[in-house]
Amino acid sequence: MTYRFFLSVLLLLAVASFKDLYAEDIIPQGQVGLSPEIFEDIRIGTKPVNETIRFYNFKDKPVRVEVSVHNWTTDTSNRVKLLPPTTQSLDQWMTINPLNFTVPPKQNRPIRFSIRPRMQPEPGEHRAIVYFTEIPAENDTTAQQTIRTRFRLGVGVYAIADPAEKKAKLHAFRLDRNTLLADIENTGDIHVRFGGRFAIWKEQDFPGSSNPDKVFPKNKENEKPDGLAARGRLNRFPVLPDTRRTIATALPRMAENGNYIVAVQDTLAGVPRLHTFKLTQ
């Protein structure tokens, strides 16, 4: 008996990459790809907008794909939630060509879409997600396997109708064990991201908050200064207009037990900040 299931990549939502929509990568690397993986600042009005997505097939066999477009939001668990279309939803104004196609092995093909509003767009953000879903081949020899997987990749499209304002409030930011938690409320008309980076230092080697260039050095990973235990990027999952969400960034576990300083440099809606936390492990 053959079981089929979808492997979904929500690139968030960037993370770039609709990977920035949702920082998760559950498609095995080297199979298929999209470029770009997100359209984040398309301006819409009375004139049509034309864009292109390129689909890459890195497999040794052809790939058949079907395309669909949906209206969407996020739920309180920061997961993509599809919504019915409305007269003001971006999916109703998008034309995509082609909607079904086959890509030969090791090749790619363009998929074009246009945005033509059927009415005056209301000010603010209009969103759509374009899904690329694999169509299993009828003569697929993997049918004898216990599990057969089908990919589904998403490209996030964010379109803005002026006037619109990017505004947000950081209600709280804390460290809970090995996870950074940012409580963010979007008070504007455009999605915001908690963009930034973190650096984890051994407490005795921390350069001090007044030395950000030393706290966040530009050295390559294999050239880290003594005392810098780890570094990385914050989760950039979007917080949509009129929503309040907690964005979590998991920190790596330290190789050695001891006391550490977690320094975070972030920017939310254009406002930069520097935070420090104590971490004992």
Q: Which domains does the chain have, with CATH numbers?
A: 3-161 (2.60.40.10), 168-280 (2.60.40)
Residue 178 CA to its chain's centroid (Å): 22
Above 80 in pLDDT, residue 127? yes
Above 80 in pLDDT, residue 3? no
Mean pLDDT across 48-70:
96
Q: Cβ-count burial of 229 within 10 angstroms (0-12 exposed, 13-18 middle, 19+ buried)?
A: buried
> In which band, very low, low, confident or very high, does the pLDDT at 224 lie, cut at 50, 70 and 90?
confident
For tokens 């330290």, what's the residue? 254
> In which band, very low, low, confident or very high, does the pLDDT at 1 lie, cut at 50, 70 and 90?
very low
pLDDT recorded at residue 141: 59
Q: Provide the β-strand partners of residue 184.
A: 170, 245
pLDDT recorded at residue 142: 55
Task: Provide, rounded to the nearest whole percent, the portion of the chain with pLDDT above 90.
Answer: 77
Q: How far is residue 277's CA from residue 67's CA, in Å, rounded to a whole number?
A: 45
Q: How far is residue 169's CA from residue 184's CA, in Å, rounded to a whole number?
A: 6
Contact 266, 234 (CB under 8 A): yes
Above 70 in pLDDT, residue 37? yes
Q: How far is residue 99's CA from residue 133's CA, in Å, rounded to a whole number?
A: 10
Q: Sort strands 179-186 and 195-202 into parallel, antiparallel or unpaired.
A: unpaired
Mean pLDDT across 158-184:
96
Task: Provide, rounded to the nearest whole percent, the portion of the chain with pLDDT above 70.
Answer: 85
pTM for the model stands at 0.83
pLDDT one-digit tens code per residue, 139-163:
665 545 545 568 899 999 999 999 9
